[in-house]
Amino acid sequence: MGFDKGNNLRKGKEPWNKGKNKSNSDWAKRNSERMKLNNPMKNRDSISKRVNTIKEMYKNGEIKSWNQGLTKENNNVLKTLSENRKGFKFSEDCKKKMSKTRLNLIKENKVKIFGKGIEIPKSYMLGKHHSKKTKDIIKNKALNRDMRTFLGKSHTQESKNIISLKAKDRLKDKTKNPMWKGGISFEPYPLTFDKEFKKLIRERDNFTCLKCNTFEADAKKLYGKNLTTHHIDYIKENTFKENCCAVCVRCNAEVNSNRHHWTKFFQSLLAEKYGYKYSENGEIILEVNNEIK
């Protein structure tokens, strides 16, 4: 292991204060009492004074950092360190340990994850309703701003036909369909939004949240839930693989606002990853399958 070799550089040089403590060393005892009375490291004024003095000294060229101008080409220590670390990788065991430590820290509330544990105040609209006038204003604003991808738009006739066919197919026993490959294939398009379909989507996305790249196993530990299947255009009826992706619970809550942005985000991601096609204004372009007529 690279780091073990690196430690050999210091072999034979023991720290001067090794093993010294209050009970066996006068020096340590005196030092401890002095620190109790006035610890310069706990005195903010004294710290900033020191920092400023050192900054000045660097500026005036009175002191130089020890490693200024040193590279592995002109310094043997740096050269050895660099060579020892070449190709160094954490072992799988080590990675597991680090992951475990982090999860424990989160559990013990010693580390905060962004967005978790932050209380969201209850909506001031809780139990109230907008007036008709306000509703109209909100709707018009949404239309003008193109907030929702599909508001005020419609599918092309071709897309509608496909959706209708898929709906009809949904009623049939999917396992009797000639295209059914034992839960492996997505074809033909519409499977019902059931356990099976959700699993296929998560499988396709490698059991990883497409927004924050959290693995399902980690998401389960963090949030107590598997990844969820998100409808990219927020329309539950559009249950196609082109319109669904795996996200963790946290991200699923986050993508509920700023919907237009997130539709674009996931569509361009899926287009890049799997070659799906979408129109410029966010419509899903389904490829007509020969099997569906």
Interface residues toward Zn ion, by CB under 5 A:
209, 211-212, 214, 248, 251
How near is the Cβ of 115 to Zn ion at its closest, in Å?
10
How near is the Cβ of 148 to Zn ion at its closest, in Å?
22
Q: Where are the alpha helices (DSSP H) in 108-213?
A: 132-145, 157-171, 195-204
Closest CA to 276 of 204, 197, 217, 196: 204
How near is the Cβ of 103 to Zn ion at its closest, in Å?
16
Q: How far apart are CA 248 and CA 219, in angstroms?
A: 6
- Residue 186 or 223 with smaller CB distance to Zn ion: 223
Pairing between strand 277-278 and 244-247? unpaired
Contact between residue 234 and residue 148 where contact means Cβ atoms under 8 Å apart: yes
Q: Using CB atoms within 10 A of its CB, is residue 177 exposed (0-12), middle (13-18) or buried (19+)?
A: middle
DSSP state of 231: E
- Residue 211 or 259 with smaller CB distance to Zn ion: 211
- Residue 200 or 247 with smaller CB distance to Zn ion: 247
How near is the Cβ of 253 to Zn ion at its closest, in Å?
10
CA 185 to centroid of chain Cα atoms: 28
**Using omega within 30 degrees of 0 as the cis cutoff, is the peptide bond preceding 178 cis?**
no
Contact between residue 182 and residue 199 where contact means Cβ atoms under 8 Å apart: no
How near is the Cβ of 212 to Zn ion at its closest, in Å?
3
Range 204-221 burial, b when 16+ CB lie within 10 A, else e: bbebbbbbeebebebbee
- Residue 244 or 248 with smaller CB distance to Zn ion: 248
Q: How far apart are CA 155 and CA 153, in angstroms?
A: 7
How near is the Cβ of 187 to Zn ion at its closest, in Å?
28
- Which tokens sit at 72? 């592995």
- Residue 163 or 248 with smaller CB distance to Zn ion: 248
- Residue 191 or 249 with smaller CB distance to Zn ion: 249
- Residue 80 or 226 with smaller CB distance to Zn ion: 226
How near is the Cβ of 211 to Zn ion at its closest, in Å?
5
